[in-house]
Structure 1
Amino acid sequence: MSKTVITFGTFDVFHVGHLRVIERAAALGDRLVVGVSADALNERKKGRSPVFSQAERLEIVAALKVVDAVFVEESLEQKRDYIIEHQADILVMGDDWAGRFDEFKDICEVHYLPRTPSISTTELIEKISDLA
């Protein structure tokens, strides 16, 4: 029986940490669906606009060979709806969210994957700003 994996992220200033979490998520099933945070959601949760637009981030993530479908994540509160809508069997999130989505274990498996050490979008943006 085929398994659908779903994951979410902003994926701004796309880097190897993003690639690794997406590849590891894809390895857990047969189909990978990725929710890319809307610009407005990113502003609410991080207090800043993404460097790359929502359309650009969707295009980047959709171009990855392990990604089968992408959609815009409008709200953190809609995760359950997204899981059901995409018929996901497994939810994958970074371990910085550990425990936060355990409430969905009633409808799917929940996996928290370790983040790639020493790399974050925020740190990259700060480093680039320092160079400017």
Structure 2
Amino acid sequence: MASQHQRVGYAPGAFDLFHIGHLNILRHARSKCDYLIAGVVSDEMLREVKGIEPVIPLVERLEIIRSLKFVDEAVVEPVPDKLDMWRMLRFNVLFKGDDWKDTVKGIQLENEFEMVGVDIEYFPYTVSTSSTKLRSALDAITRSSAPTDAPSDFSRS
């Protein structure tokens, strides 16, 4: 149970198209806390907040995250507000990629969590591999393999 541990960490993410960047954040997060909870953003929140359709369904993303030896607990994140998740889980450190650092959203997050005594720790964002890049590659493959209007050899009599 999370409340039995001194430093409880929370690492939220979609974790869609799981890649080395996700692995790095979760591994680094676990090294900075006694108990790590990974919040897996629900399919509905991905659609609503990010405007994307997940490639990997929530139940499968949860199973992937739960299978990692350095994740103590994986939960569904069904709300857009991280403070709502804090009220449910009572973590005392929130982990984010450093692509959030010094952004409007990041500063707002820092200010909100400072008021409840939660630290924000940033980890290096993996520039070489990202879900956005993987999604773009999949979209390109899908577009290039889409059927054309040209008749195939099978349509001839």
Q: Given the two structures, how large is their TM-score scaled by the length of structure 1?
A: 0.91
Alignment of 1:84-103 (within 5 A): 84-98=87-101, 99-102=107-110, 103=112
Gaps of at least 5 residues in structure 2 are 102-106, 143-157
SS in 1 for 2:133: helix
Deviation at 1:54, TM superposition (A): 0.7
Q: Across the two proteins, how many residue pairs are aligned to each other?
A: 131
Computed over aligned residues only, the root mean square deviation of the Cα atoms, in angstroms, reads 1.4
Alignment of 1:60-75 (within 5 A): 60-75=64-79
Read off the aligned partner of 2:62 and give its amino acid letter.
L
The whole-number CA distance in structure 2 between the counterparts of 1:85 and 1:131 is: 41
Q: 2:40 aligns with which of 33, 36, 41?
A: 36
Read off the aligned partner of 2:92 and give its amino acid letter.
D
The whole-number CA distance in structure 1 between the counterparts of 2:125 and 2:108 is: 16
Read off the aligned partner of 1:93 and give its amino acid letter.
K
The whole-number CA distance in structure 2 between the counterparts of 1:93 and 1:84 is: 18
Alignment check: 8 A CA contact 1:83 1:91 kept:
no
Alignment check: 8 A CA contact 2:97 2:124 kept:
yes
Gaps of at least 5 residues in structure 1 are none
Among all aligned residue pairs of Structure 1 and Structure 2, give the percentage whose two residues are the same amino acid.
34
Q: Single out whichever of 28-37 and 100-109 deviates more from structure 2.
A: 100-109
Name 1:45's counterpart in structure 2: 49
Name 1:114's counterpart in structure 2: 124
The whole-number CA distance in structure 2 between the counterparts of 1:86 and 1:6 is: 9
Read off the aligned partner of 1:4 and give its amino acid letter.
V
Read off the aligned partner of 2:89 and give its amino acid letter.
H
Alignment check: 8 A CA contact 1:4 1:29 kept:
yes
Matched, 1:124 2:134: yes
Read off the aligned partner of 1:57 and give its amino acid letter.
R
Q: Given the two structures, how large is their TM-score scaled by the length of structure 2?
A: 0.78
Name 2:62's counterpart in structure 1: 58
Between structure 1 and structure 2, the one with the greater Rg is 2
Deviation at 1:131, TM superposition (A): 3.1
